Structure 1
């Protein structure tokens, strides 16, 4: 069956938040964006359970709107560096904006380093967002909410990374996070010290930390989308020294062993929950 380019793009999204998908009571809806700075929009209704939800490292900035009629709210999340719990209200409707990996929106009154591993009330760090917030939380339609945010973002900028950081980001993503710092030195022609200083200024973390995030996301993507995945082969493909190193790293960043995660993804029919709009 052929798909539209947009659906193919959504199906191929590399920035995964699997526990968020599995926290949906029914469908977890995804919608694309014409703006390359935005990876996608999403919406879901949270389950009526006490089950914990985790966010995992993805290198992305998210804005998550709780569209409850009586107590609406919105928070800006920088990427976590390991699995963290996030609070979802049972039966509440949520709408989210996920920026592309490595993109830092310039309308946020927070530095890259302040965003990493933290979250903030949207209205505290985004000037003049009240009307956009009110319009989005009042809507029940994902396409309309995406259009409302798109209009707000239309005249906004993203923070321009240095050419050095942009080159490093591209290489890290192209190699699924397996590239070494000395390879980045050879590729860019800059010393490790210069590379690390500039990358941290732009991204709020070191190149090694970003590599770690992309390797984690690559592992999650392969487990989600591959039939008969072999963890030893996956560990080797992602440059881990051995399978036990891979298992420890995955558990820390995803809050489950690869086998436990695989079993939960298959048991909860993860891919069937996702609806592309």
Structure 2
């Protein structure tokens, strides 16, 4: 399994968190892998074999080869049908709204082909260029040319959304919405409306996803010895609150998550 991350061009650094590549040779013993919410939207290109995306314990769809994975409010399982060869762009929560005009709440909890988000001709050209590229450096050059061009058609990002996301990222999602808004209830409805359009999910859901990422980092890298210590460091009210949020988003308790064979891929992103 070969997983790598690459920093974006400085002109995209406030929008693109990083690029990542993953190569995994086929193994008939492969198990389903759980994908968990992380507060980010990703554009992915699959150059390997098809990948199943399970919609229930037994039912599945095949993921598009060139797609955008919207915000996730719950975890789901995938299973490659052969070799994995993937290139992806991981956008900050506020990042992808700069490139499309449609409300991002339409993309939540699903994978949307890029042909449905961009003009058909430009989407087809982009996918073909990515397929024909022979290495990650070429693919990065292609995608950055595409993104910088789209950025010139820039959509306006609401300041209230941007400032809220900035606070979440700075504090690992631990600050309550009312505190960010300084208890100005009149702004709450406005924030919710803009969040649905430009992020895809509510402020509360994004805060929970960002906090979960920081918690997983502590859990998987054993930076805290007990669940109580992790709950305290992540500023949960208590251990029960921590376990409830964890299970709501991942579907497992923290103890069930550790050393679970279905979590190998998710755990890889924190090592």
Q: Does 1:100 align with 2:78?
A: no
Q: Deviations over 1:109-165 (max 9, x none)?
A: 642111222211122322212222112123341222112111221211254321111
- Cα distance in 1 between the residues matched to 2:266 and 2:141: 27
Q: For the structure 1 residues 86 and 270, does the alpha-carbon distance in structure 2 shift closer, same or farther, using more than 3 Å as the test?
A: closer
Match of 2:169 among 158, 173, 176: 173
Q: Does 1:65 align with 2:45?
A: yes
- Cα distance in 2 between the residues matched to 1:112 and 1:270: 24
Contact 2:68–2:114 at 8 Å: present in 1 too? Answer: yes
Give 1:228 shift. Answer: 4.2
SS at match of 2:38: coil
Give 1:212 shift. Answer: 1.1
Q: For the structure 1 residues 225 and 152, does the alpha-carbon distance in structure 2 shift closer, same or farther, using more than 3 Å as the test?
A: same
Q: Which residue of 1 is the match for residue 243 of structure 2?
A: 247
Q: Once structures 1 and 2 are overlaid, which stretch shifts more, 240-249 or 67-76?
A: 67-76
Q: Which residue of 2 is the match for residue 29 of structure 1?
A: 4
Give 1:28 shift. Answer: 0.7
Equivalenced residues, count: 248
Contiguous gaps of at least 5 residues in structure 1: 1-25
Give 1:192 shift. Answer: 2.5
Q: Deviations over 1:48-70 (max 9, x none)?
A: 24411222111211111111389
Q: Which residue of 2 is the match for residue 78 of structure 1?
A: 70
Match of 1:185 among 161, 177, 181: 181
SS at match of 2:87: strand
What root-mean-square deviation, in Å, do the aligned CA atoms of Structure 1 and Structure 2 show? 3.1
Contact 1:66–1:94 at 8 Å: present in 2 too? Answer: yes
TM-score (norm 1): 0.77
Q: For the structure 1 residues 224 and 101, does the alpha-carbon distance in structure 2 shift closer, same or farther, using more than 3 Å as the test?
A: farther
TM-score (norm 2): 0.79
Q: Does 1:161 align with 2:157?
A: yes
Q: Does 1:194 align with 2:194?
A: no
Q: Deviations over 1:232-276 (max 9, x none)?
A: 1221233323212211321232343223433359x96988x67x9
Q: Which residue of 1 is the match for residue 219 of structure 2?
A: 223
Contiguous gaps of at least 5 residues in structure 2: 52-63
Q: Once structures 1 and 2 are overlaid, which stretch shifts more, 84-93 or 110-119?
A: 84-93
- Cα distance in 1 between the residues matched to 2:192 and 2:50: 46
Q: Which residue of 1 is the match for residue 103 of structure 2?
A: 111
